[in-house]
Amino acid sequence: DDDEKTIEQKIYGRFYSDEDKSILEEFQLGTWEERLNLLSRFSDERLKQLGRRLIAFNAPDLLTQKELDAFNSYTKNKWETVDEKSNWTTTSMIKMQIEELAGKGCDMTLLNDLKVFYKERLADRKCFIEFD
């Protein structure tokens, strides 16, 4: 069922209209403020959703507090999911991959840098990760 698919799965489901292609070109060249204003011109909901997500990641200060809270909740749920079939990197996957690297003798300084990176990156989205 198409309603159950993620936006990443839907993106290849059909082609965009010629008008949406034209707007997409403007979107790719615009400032973040211009991109925000272009979102309402898309007729394809997939482009609207992906555009909002790009703005949320790259220019969160342009969002309302309600939009930012919704985005942070969305990403927090994605990071913290326990669904083993997730197409999104989860906190448990990160921990497992770092443990595997440690087991293979990876440089501890590099591993500690990765841990700091993930802690900071996830904390930006109100998601927290602890390493053993």
More confident residue, 107 or 126: 107
Q: Which domain-ending residue is among 63, 87, 115?
A: 63
Residue 37 counted as domain residue: yes
How confident is the model over 110-125, as a mean pLDDT?
91
CATH number for the domain including 53? 1.20.1280
Domains of the chain: total: 2
Those residues whose C-beta lies under 8 Å from the C-beta of residue 35, and which sit 6 or more positions away, are: 27, 51, 54, 55, 59
Asked whether the beta carbons of 120 and 129 are under 8 A apart, the reply is no
Q: Which domain-ending residue is among 38, 63, 88?
A: 63
pTM over the 0.85 mark: no
Q: What residues make up the domain containing 20?
A: 1-63
- pLDDT of residue 94 exceeding 80, the answer is yes
Residue 131 counted as domain residue: yes
